[in-house]
Each structure stands twice: as C-alpha cells, then as structure tokens.
Structure 1
C-alpha cells in the first residue's frame, strides 16, 4: 500500500499532504485554545510524520526517475 502511495502522481501527494496537514493544524489550534498540552504535542508529532511521508514519496519518485521531464 505504501508503494502505491509513493508511485502516485506528485500533485495528488502534495494535495493530500496539504489537506491532512491543514486538518491536523486546525485541530492543534483548537486543542491549544482548550489548554490540552498532550494533544497539542501529539498533533505536532503527527504533522511531522505527514511531512516525512511526503518527503519520502517525493525523494522516491526523484530517485526512481518517476518525475515527468
């Protein structure tokens, strides 16, 4: 399943990453307003994990020659 994600078109990967990150960031701000430090830390970590997956997918496509020329 992860290989399918890595081979998806770049536009889809970026759009999915933006949507997921925006949702997580919005949730992070809501929990910060409530003063829930644990959820703020967990959501910050999850935003970082999403960024790592996006970076890995883009580097996989670059190294495998899947970028359109």
Structure 2
C-alpha cells in the first residue's frame, strides 16, 4: 500500500495530509476541552505520524525522480 502512495502526485499527497492533519487537530482541541489527556496525547502522536509520512513520500519521490532522469 505504501508503494502506491509513493507514486501519487506530490500536490495530492500534501492536500490529503493537510485535510487529515486539520481533522485530527480539531479532534485534539475538542478532547483537550473535555480534559481527556490520553486522547490528546494519542492524537498528537498521530498528527506527527502523518507529518512524517508526508515527508517520507516527498523525499522518496525527489530521490526516485533524480535517478529516474539519469
């Protein structure tokens, strides 16, 4: 599944990542108002995972494109 993600256009990956991160962030704020520390912690970690995944996809595509053009 992750290989298919590497082949998607960078703009789509960034747009999907922004939507997912914004949704997770809104849930994070909602649970922070309720005082649920565990869910706030888990949502913060999941936002970080989404950011790392987007960074890896962009880095892989640049690396792959560099050697593909040779």
- TM-score, normalized by length of structure 1? 0.93
Gap regions ≥5 residues in structure 2: none
Structure number with greater Rg is 2
Structure 2 residue 47 is matched with structure 1 residue 47? yes
- Distance, in Å, in 2 between the alignment partners of 1:55 and 1:27 is 23
- Number of aligned pairs? 66
- Distance, in Å, in 2 between the alignment partners of 1:4 and 1:15 is 16
User: Where does residue 17 of structure 1 map in the other structure?
Assistant: 17
Greater share of helix: 2
| 4+ aligned runs moved over 3 Å, structure 1 | none
- 2:60 partner SS: helix
- TM-score, normalized by length of structure 2? 0.91
RMSD: 0.9
- 1:64 partner SS: helix
